[in-house]
Amino acid sequence: MRMSHLLVVALAVIIVGISVVYLLAQPPGSVKTASTSTASATNSMPITASPTATTQSASRGVLSTYPVTITDSAGRNITLERPARRIVAQTYAVWVLAALNATDRVVGTSMISFRGDPAFMKLLPKDVADIGSFYGPGARVNVELIASLNPDVVIAPTTFFYPESELEAKLPPHIKVVRLDFTDVKRLAQEIRTLGVIVNKTAEAEELVKKVERLLKLVKERVANATLRPKVYLEWYSPYSTPGRGSYWHELIELAGGVNVFSDLEVKGLQSFVQVSPEGVVQRAPDVIVRYVPSWVYNPCAARNATALARLRAEIAGRPGWSSIPAVANNRTYVVASIYDGGYGKAVHLVLLAKLIHPELFADIDVGGLFNDLLRTMGIDRYCAGARVWVYPPLK
């Protein structure tokens, strides 16, 4: 009797052990209980991806269930039936897609931004189509070409020179148009999270948001200790083109602890820059001059040296009457490569601008190291064969 009792107990122990091993071997969520069945039913409902909801949903891992409703930067609610596999995107969005390891989904973009960038071209599909440009006076995008590419999603900026109504009006309804900019630092985190939902890479998006928010916090805290706000003249791509009040570059100057010398000139609508006179710059006597050059003029990952930047800096300093400007007299004129400046790159460029304006507050910050981290994050570090000079003269 005692022996049979022991056999029953032993058999029960073996059965329990086998059950435990089976349960531990199952993938998370594959073993259904009453509570998990309820959760599965809940997860089949559409999810609204607000900034907060996106973060919470990503941590719970439920965004693999679609449809999902997102809110774009134009304030529109858009429902996606599935993760986007074919994407047409504006330049800044493509740079963020690289950081999310999703450039293989790009079927169309503005190739003017990438043809002079052999490093980044290695991340794009070989057959990616050139859809034209969203930006600049006279810019056009080829809506018929976009439609023929049959993308799931078109990521367009909130405002652009191409007639906005034509984009949605001419595209079939199954192609979703989502408005995201990746240039306004106040919306960077929200827009990165939204893009993470679009491509179902919410975990990667959260890691990217952490990098962005760390740099924005760094600049905010250090600039708060500034005793003076130097006057800044920022020149964009061509002589005497400068941001006015109301543009995101005006805001970046303010966030970096400077004063835009042309803040009295307001930009409206699609305009971001105003044309000023050389005499006007002299009269406003900026303490710092920063000239940005496009990637097709100078690319840090392609150019073997910074001769082009040095030549342009010399031209600025040699303009008639400019020797009396404090920025020129005190050797505080800089030329910056304008590239990869969307999403995380916008935060890196903000740190660079802050260091140019307040070198005493950012002496310990290795800007070159930040740009190298940006290259690694985007997956192009191994392809960047140039001099990697992001600003001239190079910072210590």
Whether 245 and 175 share a structural domain: no
The distance from CA 171 to its chain's CA centroid, rounded to whole angstroms, is 26
Whether 236 and 161 share a structural domain: no
pLDDT band at 205 (very low <50, low <70, confident <90, very high): very high
**Which of 27-41, 104-118, 179-193 has the least mean pLDDT?**
27-41
Q: Is the pLDDT of residue 28 over 70?
A: no
**Residues in CB range of 224: below 8 A, 6 or more apart:** none
Whether 52 and 192 share a structural domain: yes
Q: Is the pLDDT of residue 365 over 50?
A: yes
Spatial distance between the Cα atoms of 153 and 199, rounded to a whole number of angstroms? 10
Q: Is the pLDDT of residue 239 over 80?
A: yes
Give the mean model confidence (pLDDT) for residues 125-146. Answer: 87
- Contact indicator for 336, 314 with CB cutoff of 8 Å: no
What does the DSSP 8-state code read for residue 129? E
Asked whether residue 343 is assigned to any structural domain, the reply reads: yes
pLDDT band at 116 (very low <50, low <70, confident <90, very high): confident
Residue type, 396: K
Spatial distance between the Cα atoms of 204 and 377, rounded to a whole number of angstroms? 10
Out of 168, 202, 236, a domain closes at 202
Which residue intervals of the chain are DSSP H helices? 2-25, 34-43, 51-60, 91-99, 118-121, 143-149, 164-170, 188-198, 202-223, 248-255, 278-284, 307-317, 326-329, 344-357, 367-378
CATH number of the domain bearing residue 262: 3.40.50.1980
Whether 248 and 388 share a structural domain: yes
Helix axes 344-357, 248-255, angle to 10 degrees: 50
The full DSSP string for 40-75 is HHHHTS-EEE-HHHHHHHHHHT-TTSS-EEEE-TTS
Spatial distance between the Cα atoms of 391 and 396, rounded to a whole number of angstroms? 11
Out of 202, 217, 237, a domain closes at 202
pLDDT at site 336: 98
Whether 146 and 293 share a structural domain: no
Closest CA to 330 of 356, 354, 364: 356
Out of 159, 185, 202, a domain closes at 202
Closest CA to 162 of 130, 134, 184, 200: 134
- Contact indicator for 192, 343 with CB cutoff of 8 Å: yes
Structural tokens at position 70: 């997102």
Whether 187 and 100 share a structural domain: yes
| Omega before 393 within 30 of 0, i.e. cis | yes
Q: Is the pLDDT of residue 34 over 50?
A: no
**Which of 25-29, 159-163, 351-355 has the least mean pLDDT?**
25-29
Q: Is the pLDDT of residue 136 over 80?
A: no
Asked whether residue 2 is assigned to any structural domain, the reply reads: no
Whether 172 and 272 share a structural domain: no
Give the mean model confidence (pLDDT) for residues 203-224. Answer: 98
Q: Is the pLDDT of residue 50 over 50?
A: no
pLDDT digits (tens, 9 = 90+) for 149-184: 999 999 999 876 555 567 888 899 999 999 999 999
Whether 233 and 378 share a structural domain: yes
Residues of the chain above pLDDT 90, percent: 73
Spatial distance between the Cα atoms of 324 and 6, rounded to a whole number of angstroms? 101
Structural tokens at position 216: 């924005």
Asked whether residue 127 is assigned to any structural domain, the reply reads: yes
Asked whether residue 78 is assigned to any structural domain, the reply reads: yes
Whether 160 and 80 share a structural domain: yes
pLDDT at site 113: 86
The distance from CA 110 to its chain's CA centroid, rounded to whole angstroms, is 16
33 burial via Cβ count (<10 Å: 0-12, 13-18, 19+): exposed
pTM for this entry? 0.83
Enclosing domain of residue 306: 227-392
Give the mean model confidence (pLDDT) for residues 350-373. Answer: 97
Q: Which residues pair with 71 in a beta bridge?
A: 77
Spatial distance between the Cα atoms of 309 and 298, rounded to a whole number of angstroms? 8
Whether 59 and 157 share a structural domain: yes
Residues of the chain above pLDDT 70, percent: 81
Mean pLDDT over the full length of the chain: 85
- Contact indicator for 131, 86 with CB cutoff of 8 Å: no
Asked whether residue 111 is assigned to any structural domain, the reply reads: yes
Asked whether residue 167 is assigned to any structural domain, the reply reads: yes
Asked whether residue 222 is assigned to any structural domain, the reply reads: no
pLDDT digits (tens, 9 = 90+) for 59-111: 334 455 899 999 999 999 999 999 999 999 999 999 999 999 999 999 999 99
Closest CA to 219 of 371, 356, 374: 356
Please, what is the Cα angle at 379 between 374 and 381, to 5 degrees? 70
Instruction: Report the number of distinct structural domains present in the chain.
Output: 2
Whether 75 and 175 share a structural domain: yes
Whether 234 and 348 share a structural domain: yes
pLDDT at site 269: 62
Asked whether residue 287 is assigned to any structural domain, the reply reads: yes
